[in-house]
Structure 1
Amino acid sequence: MKKLFILVLALILSVASFSKEITVSAAASLKNCLEEIIPEYEKESDNKILLNLGGSGTLRTQIEKGAPVDIFISANKENVDMLIDKNKIKKENSYDFLSNVLILVKSSYSKSEIDSIEKLKNSDVDIAIGNPKTAPVGVYTLQALKNLKIYDTLNSEKIIYAKDVTAVTQYLERGEVDFGIIYDSDKNRMKNPIVIGEFPKDSHDEIIYSLALMNNNKETEDFFNFLKKDNIKKIFKKHGFIVI
């Protein structure tokens, strides 16, 4: 009996030794789809995914300070390029991964009669946007509002800068603002989104999610290849992303 116990224990330890943890730091807007995709991967693999979500700029800063990350998915290319410049990532290990659309959403609690992006001009509404210092959605938003000659007409005291796009949706759902500017994919995470319109693509830089393999080993490549499978691409599309 003792020999059998030792044999079983040795087998368990042997299997465990092949199991690896893969740390993925990803833009907050990827929350829902990654939380659906990761269990599918873990069913097929002995590897375990540790998911860290946040504003891409915040995640990049964590990596710069030495945070152990295997895969970084940024909601823009700039954060990945900055890590390439600092020799944290090899250029050949970065990839254009997904795209998205920028939209204006009205809170279901708002009584505002604004029904188009253009009508934001000279309005006095409460609006939540991403903080450009921590979230790419904020960069795209400021570009769009400025190029459309809207930003300077808004009441600056009523602009709330949120840490990431998830925080923008939370302001909307709690009715703390009239409007929020988010990615099209994020409306799928809301209960009652009222989409006012899409920002013209030429009003801001192209929205590109960039994926970088921080550790170019067998485990990270295994998960990366899993993300490229056709059935997984369908999950990204279901959640409103554009697969490149």
Structure 2
Amino acid sequence: MRLLPLITFAVLPAIAAAEDVTLFAAASMKTALDPIAAQFQAATGHQVAISYAGSNTLAQQIMNGAPADIFISASPQWMDEVEKAGQIAPGTRTDLLGNRLVLVAHDAAAARVELGPETDLTAMLDGGKLAMALVDSVPAGQYGKAALTSLGLWDVVAPHVAQADNVRAALALVSSGEAPLGIVYATDAAADPTVHVIGSFPETSHDPIVYPAARLAHGTDPADAAFLAALDAPAADELFRAQGFVVLD
């Protein structure tokens, strides 16, 4: 695993009183966001509390009144739902990051494959399960199902899929060896040395993987705006790139 650079958030405005920032973020962002939040806290004195889960779960909690200040979703769909519910502060939504979808294996000796219509995933599973996030609601699972469907593989492999609450839970199934293969984001694979990328899904096989971020209607403190700005600052960009995210302009 690559070591994250130690960077100061020199661009942040000084705010006299310490405040709390509550962030709801897609589970796939944990490895990158934890150090960004820690460095923000050290530079400003503000406290950042982060709840990680599937974007669908977080969006539903926000729409049900959870007091979050900032939301980062792993797909535009769930941010759209939160926006339709009137929970986004106007003019604060931005497309923050991109990602890639990969096939990972628990076995370090597993051969790399070119993922396409001829790929025999059932044979590769050898009686085991294909770990995926929930395919009808969690972005990583939705992207994965779309990719498999596009390649003509979904109907064959669907009976062998083990669905998990979020992408990090799917990663854990492969990491522990409970599932021989899994579909996760490239950044998740990079965060866990016990799994091995054996294939990348064609970008044309699914919608672009985009992480929108926004300040929520509840996030009225200056620290909330400062942290959202910090996520789009050069220091954060470097940390995101170190974890394999694509920084969007």
TM over 0.5, shorter chain: yes
Q: Which residue of 1 aligns with 2:155?
A: 152
Q: Which residue of 2 aligns with 1:115?
A: 113
1:240 aligns to 2:244 (yes or no): yes
The CA deviation at 1:77 is: 0.7
Asked if the contact 2:110–2:198 (Cα under 8 Å) also holds between the matched residues in 1, the reply is no
Question: Where do 1:1-244 residues align within 5 Å?
Answer: 18-90=17-89, 92-108=91-107, 115-118=113-116, 119-123=119-123, 125=125, 126-154=129-157, 156=159, 158-214=160-216, 215-244=219-248
The CA deviation at 1:140 is: 0.3
How big is each residue's C-alpha offset from its partner over 1:89-137, in whole Å with a ceiling of 9 and x where there is no partner?
Answer: 145221100000000111127x876734342355372201110344200
Asked if the contact 2:132–2:183 (Cα under 8 Å) also holds between the matched residues in 1, the reply is yes
Asked if the contact 2:19–2:221 (Cα under 8 Å) also holds between the matched residues in 1, the reply is no
Q: Which residue of 1 aligns with 2:9?
A: none
Structure 1 unmatched ranges of 5 or more: 1-16
Q: RMSD across aligned C-alpha pairs, in angstroms?
A: 1.9
Moved more, 80-89 or 116-125: 116-125
* CA shift in 2, pair 1:154/1:124, >3 Å: farther
The answer to which structure has the higher helix fraction is 1
TM-score (norm 1): 0.87
The CA deviation at 1:191 is: 1.9
Moved more, 66-75 or 147-156: 147-156
Higher relative contact order (CA 8 A, sep 6+): 2
The CA deviation at 1:219 is: 1.5
Q: Partners of 1:224 and 1:37 in 2: how far apart?
A: 11
The CA deviation at 1:29 is: 0.5
How big is each residue's C-alpha offset from its partner over 1:197-221, in whole Å with a ceiling of 9 and x where there is no partner?
Answer: 1101110000000101002542111
- One-letter code of the match for 1:166? R
Displaced runs of 4+ in structure 1, greater than 4 A?
A: 111-114
- One-letter code of the match for 1:87? G
Asked if the contact 1:122–1:150 (Cα under 8 Å) also holds between the matched residues in 2, the reply is no
Q: Which residue of 2 aligns with 1:3?
A: none
Asked if the contact 2:112–2:199 (Cα under 8 Å) also holds between the matched residues in 1, the reply is no
Moved more, 123-132 or 208-217: 123-132
Q: Partners of 2:158 and 2:136 in 1: how far apart?
A: 20
Q: Is the partner of 1:22 in helix, strand or coil?
A: strand
TM-score (norm 2): 0.85
